[in-house]
Amino acid sequence: MSDLTKAEVAEQTREMDLLRFATAGSVDDGKSTLIGRLLLDSKSIFEDQLEAVEATSQSKGYDYTDLALLTDGLRSEREQGITIDVAYRYFATPTRKFIIADTPGHVQYTRNMVTGASTADLGLVLVDARQGLTEQSRRHAVLLSLLRVPHLVLAINKMDLVDFSQEIYERIHAEFTQFATKLNIPDLSVIPISALAGDNVVNRSENMAWYSGPTLMHHLEHVHVASDRDLQDVRFPVQYVVRPKSDEHHDYRGYGGMVAGGVLKPGDEVVVLPSGMTSKIAGIDLFDQEVTEAFPPMSVTVRLEDDVDVSRGDMIARVNNAPKPSQDIDAMICWMTNEPLRPRQKLAIKHTTRTARALVKDIQYRLDVNTLHRDQETKELGLNEIGRVQLRTTVPLLCDPYSKNRTTGSFILIDEATGVTVGAGMINSGS
């Protein structure tokens, strides 16, 4: 390792990319057991953790090791045997790093699922092979489609309880594939598994020789996500103005943030919004080294050739491909608090690194995530409900449609009195 240059180390780090995936399923579909199996079979848990789980399983009188105990960390969840909050788990294989968002299945926790899946590259929906598709299964698929999660895996779990039946697998496969045609799901895979026994999770199942597709872990390791990000439209929201004011970097001035879209390179002509001032990129710094390009989701510091006025909340873009500043926002919103959302309500809005105030002009309809019916008679949105809303902001937002860029196309709404996040939005358009 000592013979490698910093550039080579950085290149190797980029190659071992990160996959964020969200799990969803009905109660007792086995999500927590599946995640425990992934952690166990990928050797991502310590020996003492496994011993503790084995001891707890024995004390409960189980004749098997309850891998769900690895993930259901809250005592109240363990006692109920359900997952309530979003639990994030981290593990890695030699091929890839993973962040799992284990989301709850109940309809009353829709907001939690929206939170967990909002940044996911892949959605993993579990169904019980004995039950087949349920209303919750369809709702989870609708939410993942609404959140524009580009890859979806339907894991048909508990195949061991239906004698590894190919007929049952094919029936559920066909039913879900037909349902998915109504949704926006670019990439769909269906994998039969047994999380409890480990069939087709990490190791191929000898009990399902009729299945010729990949195991779940192989699919997660090799699904291609780099092309899901917008590499055409340069979007760099400025989070922080970097001025060290040290003897070594006395005149240093850079702009830190995470690349939300496109590829930035030294020499590129850019525009700073909303001022409209133009300049060229003098250099791009990553930690203590300079890089030749930056792309999503890298966090870097950009230096400009000219001393233009740039502050937090501004956005750097290409001159001929910049977002149009918008104050009238048309968006889908998931409402996350008990007090309903109503027209004329005033809230704070946070979009990328810019914060403003927003007025709710109109609620166009409430979406039934089970039937996709649009209730145009609604006057408000309640807790966990999703609807189409018109907003007017005090300052222009530099946004894109959510379908084009999930970072610049999303925002959160905040109660100014309490500072609590009360809504999450996905922008359809702005003007």
User: Structure tokens of 400?
Assistant: 């894109």
Residue pair 408/425 in contact by the 8 Å Cβ criterion: no
Q: What is the pLDDT of residue 217?
A: 93
The string of pLDDT tens digits covering residues 109-163 is: 677 788 888 889 999 999 999 999 988 888 889 889 988 999 999 999 999 999 9
* Residues 165-188: b if buried by 16+ CB within 10 A, e if exposed: eeebbeebbeebeeebeeeebeeb
The C-alpha atoms of residue 395 and residue 11 are separated, in whole angstroms, by: 40
Contacts of 302 (CB under 8 A, 6+ apart): 236, 254, 255, 256, 257, 264, 281, 283, 284, 294, 316
pLDDT band per the 50, 70, 90 thresholds, residue 16: very low
**Other beta carbons within 10 Å of 346:** 11
Q: Which domains does the chain have, with CATH numbers?
A: 15-228 (3.40.50.300), 236-318 (2.40.30.10), 325-430 (2.40.30.10)
Q: Please, which contacts does 86-95 make with residues 24 or more away whose CB atoms are closer than 8 Å?
A: 86/112, 86/113, 86/115, 86/116, 88/116, 89/35, 89/39, 91/38, 91/39, 91/42, 91/44, 92/42, 92/44, 93/42, 93/217, 93/221, 95/16, 95/221, 95/222
pLDDT in tens, 313-356: 999 999 999 998 999 999 999 999 999 999 999 999 999 999 99
CA distance 277 to 336: 38
Higher pLDDT, 285 or 182: 285
**Whole-model pTM?**
0.82
pLDDT in the model for residue 12: 39
Query: Sorting pLDDT into bands at 50, 70 and 90, what band is 39?
Result: confident
DSSP H or E run through 144: helix 135-146
Helices (H), 192-312: 216-222
Q: Residue 105: pLDDT band by 50, 70, 90 thresholds? A: low
Please state which of the ranges 232-246, 255-269, 300-314, 391-405 shows the lowest mean pLDDT. Answer: 232-246
pLDDT of residue 431: 55
Residues 169-187 have a mean pLDDT of 92
| Spatial separation of the C-alpha atoms in residues 99 and 122, rounded to whole Å | 11
- pLDDT on residue 50: 64
pLDDT for position 4: 38
More confident residue, 26 or 135: 135
pLDDT at position 94: 87
Q: Which pair of structure tokens corresponds to residue 68?
A: 């769900």
What is the average per-residue pLDDT within 58-78? 56
- What is the rounded average pLDDT for all residues in the chain? 85
Nearest to 169 by CA among 157, 182, 187: 157
pLDDT band at 14 (very low <50, low <70, confident <90, very high): very low
Report, as an integer, the average pLDDT of 394-421: 93
Backbone angles phi, psi at 116, to 5 degrees: -70, -35
Q: Which residues pair with 281 in a beta bridge?
A: 304
Between CA 12 and CA 7 the distance in angstroms is 9
Percent with pLDDT over 90 in the chain: 57
Coil, strand or helix at 367: strand
* Per-residue H/E/C for 374-420: EECCCCCECCCCEEEEEEEEEEEEECCCCCCCCCCCEEEEECCCCCC
| Residue 182: band (very low, low, confident or very high) from pLDDT cuts 50, 70, 90 | confident
pLDDT at 69: 60
Whether omega before 401 lies within 30 degrees of 0, making that bond cis, reads no
